[in-house]
């Protein structure tokens, strides 16, 4: 099945996603992944997985999809 099973899944940010500081951690179900995003995302924000980039998930805040 692989990491593709996380595509379009909803998760929560455990550590602020900030590409400048190279930080970001999300929980999808029981799994924790390093994460990247086009924008900084605060801890506690719900996110949707857009794609897998190497060992990082690329996520987007859910409120951006409205």
Q: What is the pLDDT along the chain (66 residues), one digit of tens a residue?
A: 566 788 999 999 999 999 899 999 999 999 999 999 999 999 999 999 999 998 899 999 997 544
Report whether 49 contacts 7 (CB < 8 A). Answer: yes
| Six-digit token string for 39 | 């924008």
pLDDT of residue 66: 47
pLDDT of residue 21: 93
Q: What pTM, to 2 d.p., does this model score?
A: 0.87
């Amino acid at each position: 099945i692989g990491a593709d099973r996380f595509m379009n899944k909803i998760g929560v940010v455990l550590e602020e996603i900030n590409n400048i500081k190279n930080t970001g951690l999300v929980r999808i179900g029981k799994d924790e992944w390093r994460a990247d995003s086009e924008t900084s995302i605060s801890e506690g924000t719900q996110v949707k997985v857009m794609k897998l980039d190497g060992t990082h998930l690329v996520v987007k805040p859910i409120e951006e999809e409205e």
